[in-house]
Structure 1
Amino acid sequence: MHAPSPARPLLPAVRPSACPGLLRIVQALDGGICRIKLPGGLLTADQADAVALAARAYAGGVIEATNRANLQIRGIVAEHGAMVEALLAAGLGPRQAAGDDVRNVLLSPAAGLDRQQLLDVRPLAAQLLASLEQEPRLHALSAKFAIQLDGGEALAMLEHHHDVWLSPVMIAGASWMAFGLAGCSGHDPALGAVPAINAHALVLAVLDAFLARATPEQHRLRDLLTGPGATGFVADLSARHPDLGIRTVAFDRAPTTATPIGVHAQRQPGHCLVVAGAALGRLDAEQLRGAADLARRVGDGTLRITPWQGLLLPAIASADAASVQRSLAALGWLVDPAQPLAALIACTGSSGCARGLADTKADAQLLAATLHNPAAVHLSGCARSCAAAHVAPATLLAVGNGYYDLYLRDATRPGFGALQATHITVQEAGALLDARLRSNTHD
């Protein structure tokens, strides 16, 4: 017998959120933001056209690719009811804001197509997205609560921290899913594993246990699990749900070192994946429509947004890869990982965000022109680090208009890492990165 969990204040039906969504337009300095959550980053060419047309008709045409493989329309200034209706008609989300808020499941953009994958996680993702969208009790989750499903792909972002992550592991010739809580599969040991067939039930059990224990102020699992709390949480989960078959497992899933931008072999013979980047995460309506047209003409009619704030075109005949890259480059997509902007991340900055202390987008452009050697750098307008869900090899944290503190990632230090220089200009930062830090700033 297990003692009942201590009484907790009742949670609201839906936690209040300031996060934008499809049906919740959030105002920023440069206008409204509409975030379109894509299932596994996937959208059809027709849906891409719908997003592009909406951005052009109701905003300034600015579209952003997010680090959770979603799209958002920025700078909405017109009455947006008709815009939302057009996006709903294109099948880009549910008509319930609460159901839309919690659809936060990240996959590899190459799920089902990657030659290295151990398991196609798309069916599991579809199950979880249906549960999150349709089961009212799960609408009490925060709009920031996130799940990652890793299928063992080579092309995968494994440094983003998620509330729940799952990654495949073979045990006695059978498929199991290792899992962790409030961490990431690229760095953290698994807390346990379940047979792959039980993965959906495991995630629902974790979500229900979190909602039963968390106070309204505890929005994420990291808020609830401190110290040895994760181990105790899993032990209690195993005791309450013996049917899940939770067991300990040795797990080692190192992050891939593959450069995302470029051409990657596809699981299906004779085809490849063409991956491009959006400069500083931004694109315009014509870039998206042009990519949609390519998907129709030489692909399978679909596009996938990547967690590296870019685009993946699947099912491209290997013989067509070079011409597709040239077409994407002509549209303004980044197709060469050696391009300086391909390695830079920048938040909205002071041009669109009230918290931003510097115009990070403009400063990133300046840094790209300053660097002689491309380096992976994140320019953040404030300490919240909205543009990067993981700590970048080098971070420029704004401290004033045009001035930054420079940090280098250091696993032994919290936050952005080791402080290298304070109150420096972008040009000074570029000189430091070129002269002393290049070997430390490549993933």
Structure 2
Amino acid sequence: MKEPIRPSACPGLLRIVQALDGGICRIKLAGGELSAEQARAVAHAAEHFAGGVIEATNRANLQIRGITGSHPAMLEGLLAAGLGPRSSGGDDVRNLMLSPSAGIDPHMQFDTRPLAEQILHSLQHRERLHELSAKFAVLLDGGEALAMHEHAHDLWLAPLLLDGETWLGFGLAGCPGTALAAVPLQQGHALAIAVLERFLDLASPEQTRMRHVLGTVSAEDFIAPLAVTLRLGPFAINKAGTDRLGTYPQRQAGKVFVGAAPPLGRLGPPMLRDLARLAEQHGDGTLRLTPWQSVIVPNVDTQCAPRLTAALDALGLLCSAAEPLAHLVACTGSDGCKKGLADTKADARLLATLLPHPQAVHLSGCPRSCAAAHVAPATLLATSAGHYDLYLRDAGQPGFGALRARNLDLHAASDLLARLPTEQHR
């Protein structure tokens, strides 16, 4: 097999990467969607070929941890379930994020799923696009209220209403906010491919992300030769907001979607099988993973939502934003990662019992920030077992933000976090 131009150490479906607790297989879900049968295939793989740990990721994917020995049978089962292509190049570049409520959100301005299918097909089947880095990422937003607007993407697209028609505003190397330019909605696929190919025309093998290229070429010069109908911005992107936990009405009459979160993004095979069963009993037999390491069950009859919520709660999922643990994010930590300086998962569970109110905190075992693709309001960066430096988000500071205190144990950290201004609790 031809060596990739931009080799990656990131796990994939066909690239098992070793960690302290065994191999990791990352399953990139198309639009974050997982059928009940696919969920059972993932549960089977985790149970029979690995340590039984399944993680929801911050890119709305799943990964299996603790894989031991050879794994052809595991991969064949996942491929047979339709969980990815048989080429590693096609799998690596399937980094297209949608809203978890695509197609069902009452606030959406258009259904992103048909366009997403076109883009994903091109990513999988155009060999030149396999030259992209496995980290290169695209966001397609449809104006949904349930949307992640904090993850920086190499290319993002979001709807704009111009002269009474829906256009796609887009930006490079950032988050939806102000669009650089816009194209008619029907040119969305052509724009995405043109941007990706323009990146490959300009990028050296060492330049894996859009921000690297924009360090040498202005955004205006980057888009100037694109063979699409461009309407130059800037255009402000409107943002709505919905929590990812709880029950919310759908665009379809009489239907709701219900959101819940496995604690700290981890779920075992029995929980995933039970989720699949509940999706079949109460919804349309599908689950949607979210970039908040949670899951939603779509297309639920309104009157069934209370029973479904009770069943999700009985499985051990977090169903309410009032749960302190629902606001904490933690990487694998020293329990499964050689670079981790603290057992962040266990520490997060303890911290949840110490904080007097729900608070958004990211616990990271090392500076790589694997568990959070955006800067959290507060970050605890491990210095040793049970001890952390505290950083607070600050737009004027790089990385995690401004250093507030050093080498805190969890009791001292919780005391300090409790005294922060209210706006930093979110």
Q: What TM-score range do you get, normalising by the shorter chain?
A: over 0.9
Which of 34, 41, 53 matches 1:62? Answer: 53
Q: Secondary structure at the match of 1:384?
A: coil
Which of 85, 88, 91 matches 1:94? Answer: 85
Once the two structures are superposed, the pairs formed by residues 31-180 of structure 1 within 5 Å of their partners are: 31-180=22-171
1:193 Cα deviation (Å)? 0.4
Which of 183, 202, 205 matches 1:194? Answer: 183
Question: What whole-Å deviation, never above 9, does each CA across 1:109-137 have from its counterpart, x for those lacking one?
Answer: 00000000001110110001000000100
CA contact (8 A) 2:51 2:66 kept: yes
Show the counterpart of 2:348: 364
1:226 Cα deviation (Å)? 2.1
Q: What is the TM-score when the length of structure 1 is the normalising length?
A: 0.93
Structure 1 CA distance, aligned partners of 2:406 and 2:241? 30
CA contact (8 A) 1:12 1:216 kept: no
Show the counterpart of 2:402: 418
Show the counterpart of 2:256: 272
1:231 Cα deviation (Å)? 2.4
Q: Secondary structure at the match of 1:46?
A: helix
CA RMSD of the aligned region, Å?
A: 1.4
Structure 2 CA distance, aligned partners of 1:349 and 1:256? 34
Q: 1:89 to 1:228 in 2, by over 3 A?
A: closer
Structure 2 CA distance, aligned partners of 1:442 and 1:228? 38
Gap runs ≥5 in structure 2? none
Structure 2 CA distance, aligned partners of 1:391 and 1:65? 18
Structure 1 CA distance, aligned partners of 2:131 and 2:241? 37
Q: Secondary structure at the match of 1:437?
A: coil
1:257 Cα deviation (Å)? 3.9
CA contact (8 A) 2:329 2:372 kept: yes
Once the two structures are superposed, the pairs formed by residues 287-326 of structure 1 within 5 Å of their partners are: 287-326=271-310
CA contact (8 A) 2:180 2:234 kept: no
Aligned residues: 425
Show the counterpart of 1:352: 336
Does residue 204 (structure 1) correspond to residue 188 (structure 2)? The answer is no
1:101 Cα deviation (Å)? 0.5
Q: Secondary structure at the match of 1:361?
A: helix
Question: What whole-Å deviation, never above 9, does each CA across 1:263-283 have from its counterpart, x for those lacking one?
Answer: 111010101000011211111
Once the two structures are superposed, the pairs formed by residues 335-414 of structure 1 within 5 Å of their partners are: 335-414=319-398
Moved over 3 A (4+): 11-14, 254-257
Q: Secondary structure at the match of 1:249?
A: strand
Q: What is the TM-score when the length of structure 2 is the normalising length?
A: 0.97
Q: Secondary structure at the match of 1:345?
A: strand
Structure 2 CA distance, aligned partners of 1:180 and 1:224? 14
CA contact (8 A) 1:145 1:219 kept: yes
Q: Secondary structure at the match of 1:290?
A: helix
CA contact (8 A) 2:5 2:205 kept: no
Q: Secondary structure at the match of 2:64?
A: strand
Q: What amino acid sits opposite 1:264 in the alignment?
A: Y
Question: What whole-Å deviation, never above 9, does each CA across 1:27-65 have from its counterpart, x for those lacking one?
Answer: 000000000000000011011011011111111211000
Does residue 183 (structure 1) correspond to residue 174 (structure 2)? The answer is yes
Structure 1 CA distance, aligned partners of 2:69 and 2:275? 26
- Identity among equivalent positions (%) equals 58
Gap runs ≥5 in structure 1? 1-10
Show the counterpart of 1:6: none
Structure 1 CA distance, aligned partners of 2:219 and 2:381? 31
Show the counterpart of 1:262: 246
Q: 1:399 to 1:254 in 2, by over 3 A?
A: farther
Q: Secondary structure at the match of 1:422?
A: strand
Q: What amino acid sits opposite 1:200 in the alignment?
A: H
CA contact (8 A) 1:358 1:402 kept: yes
Does residue 439 (structure 1) correspond to residue 422 (structure 2)? The answer is yes
Once the two structures are superposed, the pairs formed by residues 209-228 of structure 1 within 5 Å of their partners are: 209-226=198-215
Which of 321, 327, 336 matches 2:311? Answer: 327
CA contact (8 A) 1:299 1:314 kept: yes
1:294 Cα deviation (Å)? 0.6
Q: Which moved more, 1:46-55 or 1:256-265?
A: 256-265
Structure 2 CA distance, aligned partners of 1:391 and 1:315? 32
Q: What amino acid sits opposite 1:168 in the alignment?
A: P
Q: Secondary structure at the match of 2:83?
A: coil
Structure 2 CA distance, aligned partners of 1:332 and 1:36? 23
Q: What amino acid sits opposite 1:324 in the alignment?
A: L
